[in-house]
Amino acid sequence: MRLLETASGKFSLLLDAGTTQVDELIEESGHEPNGYFWEGVARFLVSTEAPSLEARFQYDSEGGMFCAYGTDQEELRHLGELMSAVATDGDRVRALVAAAEAAGFEFDD
């Protein structure tokens, strides 16, 4: 995860898809570890663990990269911390995918 200031007062949170410690586990769960999958992770985390972040930034992911952007650096940093916990912990990613699927959430990967 990288948090960059792209212009004065504008920030982007980025993750290069296919570079995490849990990519193989994501594939085993029937998903592709691409930018769209990670956007789904972000959206699910916001809705379940950090609803105060809802609608506080935009997403602009693509196949090879997850991207969230906005003007509040701390909100994006918070999202980055939540996502880093998933991107580095196999048990956490398995639990998140299971919870999302049980809730009827669909990853757009």
- The predicted model gives 38-47 an average pLDDT of 97
β partners of residue 59 = 68
Q: 């990519």: which residue's tokens?
A: 23
Instruction: Identify the sign of the CA torsion 67, 73, 79, 83.
Output: positive
pLDDT at 108 over 90: no
Please report which confidence band the pLDDT of residue 15 belongs to, taking 50, 70 and 90 as the band edges: very high
- The predicted model gives 85-97 an average pLDDT of 96
Domain boundaries along the sequence of the chain: 2-102
Please report which confidence band the pLDDT of residue 27 belongs to, taking 50, 70 and 90 as the band edges: very high
Q: Can you tell me whether residue 59 is helix, strand or coil? A: strand
How do beta strands 2-7 and 10-16 pair?
antiparallel
Report which of residues 108 and 20 the model is more confident about. Answer: 20
pLDDT at 16 over 90: yes
CA dist 82 and 42 (Å) reads 8
Look at residue 4 in the predicted model and tell me its pLDDT. 97
* Topology given in CATH for the domain delimited by 2-102: Gyrase A; domain 2 (3.30.1360)
How far are the Cα atoms of 10, 44, 97 from residue 49, in angstroms, in the given order? Answer: 24, 8, 14
pLDDT at 109 over 90: no
